[in-house]
Structure 1
Amino acid sequence: MTLPIILEVRYQELFSQLSNQSIEEETQKLLEQKDFLNKDEWLKGLVLCDLALAEDKVTEEIKKLYTQLYKKNSNLYFSSGLDETDYKFWFKKNEEINDKFIENNFPRAYAERDYILETARRPYRNREKEREYLLTGIELEDPACMAIYGYNLYFAMRGEEENKIEGKKWIEKSKELGYHNADNYLLNVIYYTETDNNKILEAIEEYNKSRKEESEKSYHLLGEFYLYKEENIEKAKEALIEGIKYNNPFCCYILGINILNDRVSGYDKTEGIKLLEEAYDYGVIYAANWLGRYYYYTQDGNKSIEKSIEWHEKAKLYYFEDSLVELALIYLYEDSVKDLEKGQIYLDWAVKEESTRAMTEKSHLLLNQEVPDIEGAQKLLEKAIELGDSYAPYRLGLMYERGDIGKNPDYYKAFELYQLSAERGHIYGIELVGHYYRIGITKAEEANPEKAIEYFNQAIEKGSEYAKVELAFCYEDGFGVEKDYQKAYDLFKTAAENGYVYAYNKIGYYEEDGLVGEKNDSNAFQAYQKAAEGGNIEGIYNVGRSYKYAIGVPENPELAIENYKKAIEYNYGDAFIELALAYETEYGGLEFDAQKVMEYMMKAAEQGYSFAQYKVGYYYYYGLIERDFEKALDWLHRSFERGYPYAALLIGDYYLYNDGRQENPEYDKAFEYYLAAEQQGVISEGLGVCYEYGIGTEENSNEAFKYYTLGAEEGYTAAKYRLGTAYKYGIGTEQNQEEAYRWLSKAAEEGNTQAEYYTALMLLEGEGTNQDLEKGIVQLTKVAETEHADAQFELGNCYLMGKGVAEDEIKAMMWYQKASDNGHEQARKITGKRERRRR
């Protein structure tokens, strides 16, 4: 029955009507009907209690009627749809009647008074008074108060400190004193603490057998048991449907949410919505919160910001802080209803009510405003931690890890906070504790395979895809487990299919490299595409890389560049490198642009990419835009410190060849850098030169020859030249002119001028190869034209002697003159330009 709009008027009407009737008879009728979910009948019961108190007719039947009004959430069902005016009247009237029952020495009224306050709307709830009523009721030996207080102690509810032993004692005493509902509290204790499912089911069945009325049976716990502990959907549905038949609102709630989250099939979403609406009407306030979340986050076509707000507002009425936070976030971030002032008011309101989620959300706002408020965010997170929040230590840990607090990152402090988050059961904390144990950033400063895997498995049990990827890394490296690429691949695949799109990159690498079966570039490209489509930046980069290097698709320079440009929008370092190289080599139709080459490579270098740091150093070394050896060495040293061996080679060259033209050259320093590069398998001619001439080490021609050989085999042109000269002159090996010519000609083909000079002479003399005067002269002329003094002098000799060319003294003198101008001593003697000593 629908009540009139003005509750007070209807109440007075009923009061007048019932004043002229027998209180005893009307009370008996209501108790027999047991229809307290009829709102008019419920109000009639309240009026009868009021009349009995006024006329001093508080019989046992009236007391029974009074307690029935608050059973099975009947009072909440009555009040759920009241507006503020009617609710105020209703609440005050309940308080007034309740206090009169207390005055009539009815101890049970203390428990009902607690219940009225606990389930009250804002601003009527008063936790302090609730506790006073419970403790007074206990003093008066009221078993209901004992059970409620004991339950609060057992589960640390309503601000009580956890005390399971004491809490259970109070509930058991309540049962001894005959409190009918004590068994229900004890059943909940078993359900939420017992680990043996058989014992839990036995307890539920025993409890249900002991209840005479079907409406008193715990069908909701039976449904939960089958749904969450046994994962038997059909049996769960059976129990919940049975409970709904007998107006169990918790069954409505459980079945409703599982219809909406698609765990229970065979229902339309509107049926799930209807069940949650019914649950809310019967006092299950969190059904309103669930509906608010459903309407906001659903992807099934029922999304409605307006309905989300409506239901969160209803939940908010009953101190549901999560809905207050959800409303704040909607008003702060949802464009269609954005109201920053209102959102901030709601968020601050939730913070004031000590919502730890509100504190963490507020800290997020403070950290992301134009001028971050680090101190303010830190205080809020510390308060949330103090209140027992599990997410806050994780978030504060991130601040320490990133160096937001203090001058530098504090990984040890971060780890401590992640541990606290993990201890409190937060999945992010568990994930990062495992991660820290994997990479070794702990107080012990070393990795711990056993603990890493333990935490990853914990996180996986909670549904963490991140932990699957981390565990895959362990199988990849044989870290705490036997190395197994197949298991790693399977974990990456599962994580990817469950929405962790980064893992598609790893699948792509495995397919590209053939780590599990045959190489399959087509599968690799498809995996990279999925990562990119999921918004993963590495995936976008890999799609670009695939188009550049024809991985599973034909080479397409334009698409490669397009994807690299997308990736740099997210500051992705590898993409900066590729674009820099593209502008350097004019790849993909790009014109050479030194400024862009340096700009993009610098972006990657500043992110710590060792190759990019090397390239920036290289650009300064050889003067891409400007030649600056100081800047070159700075970047080369940064790259070297990150372990890039080619940076060590170039630093070695700087010292060996005194490229910086130092007044006091430090040749010996070259050796240590060449040696560092060699230890990583990178060898040029430098180490051989140091051994040949005793630079930074003892002279050792055998070692020189060894490293010339290794450097040449690695493809270094200068090393090929040096190896050729070693064979030519017998440095560290026997002379071998054929090998000398072979290696010198290789170096010459690669543009080494000195090698071109030597091979020209060997062709002219038939040394190590067949004599070829024509080819020798052509090559010697080419070298001479590069202002090579020795080549110019030898070419002069050829013209003077008519070797390979027609004898021509004029041309001979021309080449001698050029050689003389370039400082050739013998040429100066011939041309008469030798410098004389001053007398």
Structure 2
Amino acid sequence: MLRKIFILLILTSICYAQDSTRSEAFKDNRFYKPPIFKAKYPSYSLLAGYLLTTEANRGDPFAQHELGIRYLIGQGFPADTVKAVYWIRKAVDQNLPSARYNYGILLYNGIGVPWNPFEAYLNFKSAGEAGLPEAQFAHGILLTDNLTVNRNLNEAYKLFNKSAKAGFEPAKEALKQFEKMNFVPVNEKGTKENGSIVNDETAKIINPNFDLDFYDFDKTENEKDNEQYVHDLLNKNSKELKRMFGLDDFNENLGIKDTTGFGILNFAAENGSPEALYIIGKSLERGILMKENIIAAASNYLRAYRLGSFKAGENLFRLLQDEKFSNLLKDRIKFGDAEAMYVWAGMAALGYNSQITEKQALDFLRTAVSKNYVPSMIELGLLYSSGSLVEKNRDRAVEYWKMAMEMGSKEAEVRMAFLNVSENPNSLDTEKNIKLLINSANNGSVLAQAYLGLCYEKGLGVQENKALAVRYYRQAAQRGNQAAMNSLKRLYDEIRPNEEEFQIYEQD
């Protein structure tokens, strides 16, 4: 089962120079939103274009880098990514640290050059060793994800510390995240800074519960603490709350009518956010700011687990071990409760429940569908699509998903949009379906993020773009989607150099 990726990951959201003067290579990964491409050497800022070009042609690396950046962002020159890469590369050849850093960003995001995180890593490393705080931070980030090089949190901590001491704010925020994890760095003598001895030179995560999906409601019997957590969560500012639930916090036009904490929570859940579904499930189970309803809680856990929340799966399995819960499910089913039927059948489909036969599970789902219970429509579509419990039948899957769409299901819309794109990429409806997937991803759908990764990887309905594929796969994988994580690793492995430095030995 996929373990959560360590949260300090580079996300590759980029506003291309042709479209915007705001260039970001590292989209917010819950704490980091730096301005990236900027003129680092203002002595050239007042030079006329022809003079700057003259100095660049004479071989001045500072002028070459400045000229490249200006072409990239369209400042004083027409935006031209090809010329931007040409001039930045010229400065890189002369080992200018700022040029190496920015060239690393171009490589990592596939802007004007083929996507190559390994070459990006080497450029970040070189610029960082030359003392550039931004590059030290970027180097540290790549030491946390276990995709480019082997994860080394201890070395990452050192790099963040150097960068922070130089005043780089994102590095200071990264150190705060280490503190939340109770991370204790290892010194050169092989002991932790608190004096304890370690056997492994790479420090380990002691407690990763800083992330939303890892909040442990079961660590205390004090329901007031749990209630306070949910209350505090829903009272965060809207941008922070959107980020936590996987929504695009840059986009102010998400269509959220109720911008309160509860409004954002419900909007995210309706659009397929496993994080939001998990929080609702836990709140329903414990009666935190909601009326206690353990069956509804299990329904939300099941949907969240289907979308990648490992924590939700753990809670489902825990509930099933409780005889009171099982008896309640059975009683509710006797009275024709569609939600209870969905939960019982869904657990059976996942292999959590052997108390009913496959036929009984299917009968429960079909009965729940007849009562217009939308999650059962989605579940039956999944079973027919995968051939689980039933003979694989694409048309029956489509039948159930269309039925769910008519009932307003956002998840069904996403599944149908991708199905149409994958089967008919040249259809007249492809542009509309791709737009739907992008909007859904912005609205918190982890499923849409994973689908878009595949679209950009394979060129389904869009121009093939490995960097964008990685961006979407990473977003989905970071939120627990196993298929996206496998695809992400595969893309890295396809271009992985043979050098020892880039061989991954410890798998997540």
> What range is the shorter-chain TM-score in?
0.3 to 0.5
Larger relative contact order (Cα-Cα within 8 Å, sequence gap ≥ 6):
2
Q: TM-score, normalised by structure 1?
A: 0.25
State which structure, 1 or 2, has the greater radius of gyration over its C-alpha atoms.
1
Q: TM-score, normalised by structure 2?
A: 0.39
- Greater fraction of residues in helix: 1
